[in-house]
């Protein structure tokens, strides 16, 4: 029996470890040993390289956020003599286009496929019109991570790219709002949240025991003051950002708006919700349209129930 995948959708995580873990999960669930062409689409900073590291541990990336690792790309070098020495190759089309034509890259990829080698292609949508071969596994990274096994009717990688490019801004806005909320907790003298998670157009803060006498109106006000002041948010290193003059620990420091004003509309839900299965208290922060028209929680206990049944 053949089981076909239409698509699988995940919240795109913001931290380095969580992105690599998701990559490993995708490889286990959707990658076959004989798959030879894997395409990734998504804007710079979306996390493609980290996802690849999780999917293919040990694969040498030609370049990543830290700089150039290999030049020229091994698949291009091996294509020159037709002797493909490696089982799996990496190619970043946007980067390589500064040195190599799309025709040369497409020819090298076709040669590797004929030699039964695997090629993992970043910015696959840029090479697809020349290559004219769709990926066997196509992954788009924006606000969500979407996994396809394309069929005869697609999807077209360019269409997937349009979708994930447009949605990435919400992921950056939500992540920046999440870190500003954590800073607001510290500024007001509250213990910082213990666990961070994701919801569409926002984030979750999860507590085993929520701070008592917590003024959520004040927390929201401080975050909106950061936004109104358009405080700069800058990458420092792999574990830190700088918000204005404040150094702040962050697990995904490259995935932020450039300044707080880029977050736009922000709202902090004013009630903790209790998950009776995980025994966690949940607090949601929302950006954009979700902040203006927040969804209604389903299957969780509202605060008044919490207070009645600790």
Q: Are strands 144-148 and 246-249 parallel, antiparallel or unpaired?
A: unpaired
Is the residue at 160 inside a domain? no
Average pLDDT, the chain: 89
Question: End of a domain among 98, 121, 155?
Answer: 155
Dump pLDDT digits (tens) for 112-146.
999 999 999 999 999 999 999 999 999 999 999 99
Helix (H), strand (E) at residue 41: strand 37-41
Quote the number of domains for the chain. 2
Neighbours of 158 (CB within 10 A): 14
116 and 245: one domain? no
Is the residue at 274 inside a domain? yes
Closest to 63 in 3D by CA, of 103, 91, 88, 23: 91
29 and 126: one domain? yes
Burial of residue 307, with CB atoms counted within 10 A of its CB: 0-12 exposed, 13-18 middle, 19 or more buried: exposed
User: In sequence order, which residues have a C-beta less than 8 Å from that of residue 204 and are 6 or more positions away?
Assistant: 196, 197, 198, 282, 283, 284, 285
Token pair for residue 222? 């401080």
136 and 28: one domain? yes
Is the residue at 161 inside a domain? no
Is the residue at 265 inside a domain? yes
Dump pLDDT digits (tens) for 51-94.
999 999 989 898 766 656 677 899 999 999 889 999 999 999 99
Is the residue at 162 inside a domain? no
Is the residue at 164 inside a domain? no
182 and 86: one domain? no
131 and 175: one domain? no
87 and 202: one domain? no
Q: What is the CATH number of the domain that holds 201?
A: 3.30.980.10
183 and 252: one domain? yes
Q: What is the pTM of this model?
A: 0.85
Is the residue at 2 inside a domain? no
Closest to 113 in 3D by CA, of 89, 77, 148, 80: 89
196 and 85: one domain? no
The residues with which 249 forms a beta bridge, in sequence order, are 240
Is the residue at 124 inside a domain? yes
Question: End of a domain among 155, 188, 208?
Answer: 155
Helix axes 124-131, 157-187, angle to 10 degrees: 180
**pLDDT beneath 70: ranges in the chain:** 1-3, 64-69, 298-310
Q: What is the CATH number of the domain that holds 95?
A: 3.40.50
Residue 56 to residue 132: CA distance in whole angstroms? 25
223 and 287: one domain? yes
8 A C-beta contact, residue 219 and residue 181: yes
191 and 300: one domain? yes
Closest to 175 in 3D by CA, of 231, 281, 258: 258
Question: End of a domain among 104, 130, 155?
Answer: 155
Q: Which strands make up the sheet holding 7-11, listed edge to edge? A: 7-11, 144-148, 137-141, 37-41, 118-122, 88-92
109 and 236: one domain? no
8 A C-beta contact, residue 174 and residue 202: yes
8 A C-beta contact, residue 176 and residue 255: no
8 A C-beta contact, residue 140 and residue 156: no
250 and 213: one domain? yes
Q: What is the pLDDT of residue 150?
A: 93
For residue 279, give its domain range: 170-308
């Amino acid at each position: 029996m053949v089981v076909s995948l239409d698509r699988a959708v995940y919240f795109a995580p913001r931290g380095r470890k969580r992105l690599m873990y998701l990559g490993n999960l995708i490889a286990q669930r959707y990658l076959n040993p004989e798959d030879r062409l894997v395409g990734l689409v998504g804007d710079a900073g979306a996390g493609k390289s980290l996802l690849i590291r999780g999917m293919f541990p040990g694969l040498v990336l030609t370049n990543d956020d830290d700089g150039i690792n290999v030049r020229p790309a091994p698949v291009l070098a091996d294509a020159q003599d037709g002797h493909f020495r490696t089982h799996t190759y990496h190619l970043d089309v946007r980067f390589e286009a500064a040195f190599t034509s799309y025709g040369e890259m497409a020819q090298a990829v076709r040669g590797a496929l004929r030699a039964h080698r695997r090629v993992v292609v970043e910015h696959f949508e840029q090479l697809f019109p020349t290559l004219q071969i769709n990926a066997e596994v196509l992954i788009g990274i924006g606000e969500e991570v979407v996994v396809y096994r394309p069929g005869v009717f697609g999807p077209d990688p360019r269409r997937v790219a349009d979708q994930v490019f447009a949605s990435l801004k919400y992921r950056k806005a939500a992540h920046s709002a999440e870190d500003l909320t954590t800073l607001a907790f510290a500024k007001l003298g509250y213990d910082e949240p213990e666990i961070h998670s994701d919801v569409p157009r926002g984030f979750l803060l999860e507590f085993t025991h929520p701070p008592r006498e917590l003024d959520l109106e004040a927390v929201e006000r401080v975050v909106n003051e950061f936004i109104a002041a358009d405080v700069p948010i800058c990458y420092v290193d792999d574990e830190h950002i700088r918000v204005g003059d404040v150094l702040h620990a962050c697990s995904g420091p490259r995935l932020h708006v450039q300044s707080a004003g880029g977050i736009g509309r922000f709202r902090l839900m004013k009630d903790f919700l209790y998950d009776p299965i995980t025994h966690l208290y949940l607090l949601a922060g929302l950006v954009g349209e979700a902040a203006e028209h927040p969804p209604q929680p389903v299957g969780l206990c509202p605060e008044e129930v919490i207070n009645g049944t600790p």
